[in-house]
Structure 1
Amino acid sequence: MIGYVTLGTNHFEQAAAFYDTLLAEIGARRIMEGEQFIAWGVSPAKPSLGIIKPFNGQPACVGNGSMVALVVDSADKIKALHAKALALGGSDEGGPGPRGTSGFYAAYFRDLDGNKLNAFCMQS
């Protein structure tokens, strides 16, 4: 149902480098780009994540309660993605581990602009 998500940035080049390296951890690459935006994905037919300079020319700001969730297929990939985000200058919002009792395993972090993301998988 979700086609793509964009995150506003005030530091386009730094954000591009952050996501180039971070999303490569889960096999994503740039699938579309222009002067104002870049989108990463594993396929043009699958949901993607993008950064964008706001159209209205105003500074980008972080949405309170907004988060992008990246589905991956293993706890090991979640641990690697979380560690990579922190190594790239992101901040920790909750380290890798199980959440609740339903098999939900996740890690939470913020990018260089303060946008909140998580990586998750469902374990049996």
Structure 2
Amino acid sequence: MIGYSTIGVKDIEKAKKFYTELFDAKVQVDIGRLAMIGKAMDAPMIAVCKPFDGKTPSCGNGSMVAFSTSSKEEVNELYNKAISLGATSEGAPGQRIDDVFYGAYVRDPDGNKMAFYIFG
């Protein structure tokens, strides 16, 4: 249902490197101040951009982009990979909501919050 989510960044080249390495993905579209990163044009993507208004990007309080995975192991791998690429922890991988939700939380180098998760 979601085509892409956009987050504001300070350094577009650093952000492209972080997200392409994190997800083993490619820059699918690059228009200078905005780049869309994903596995394919017809798959969900993350877009990184310098804000259109030219002001400093900021992270929304309570805003987060969540990335679905196929296993608890993949949650752990993405969390550890994000940390190794310069992200900071916002919640180590673990079971949440009984046996329904397993997730981990990080902030990218610009402070944008993201989750890696699996239901079940």
Please give the TM-score of this superposition, normalised by the length of structure 2. 0.94
Q: Write out aligned runs for 1:29-40 (5 A).
A: 29-40=26-37
4+ residue runs over 6 A deviation:
none
Higher RCO by CA contacts (8 Å cutoff, separation 6 or greater): 1
Alignment of 1:1-124 (within 5 A): 1-24=1-24, 28-123=25-120
Work out the percentage of aligned pairs sharing the same amino acid: 38
Give me the whole-angstrom Cα distance separating, in 1, the residues matched to 2:99 and 2:28. 34
Question: Structure 2: how far apart are the matches of 1:92 and 1:56?
Answer: 30
Structure 2 CA distance, aligned partners of 1:29 and 1:16?
A: 9
Structure-2 separation of matches of 1:52 and 1:71 = 22
Q: Report the 3-state secondary structure (helix = DSSP H, G, I; strand = E; otherwise coil) of the residue aligned with 2:79.
A: helix
Q: By how many angstroms is 1:3 displaced?
A: 1.6
Range with bigger deviation, 66-75 or 96-105: 96-105
Question: How far did residue 102 of structure 1 move?
Answer: 4.4
Deviation of residue 67 (structure 1)? Answer: 0.1
- Looking at structure 1, the residues matched to 52 and 117 of structure 2 have their Cα atoms a distance apart, in angstroms, of 31
1:21 Cα deviation (Å)? Answer: 0.8
Amino acid paired to 2:18: F
**1:83-118 deviations in Å (ceiling 9; x for gaps):** 011111110000111111242111000000000000
Total equivalences in the alignment:
120
Q: CA deviation at 1:40?
A: 1.4
Structure 2, gaps ≥5 residues long:
none
Normalising by structure 1, report the TM-score.
0.91
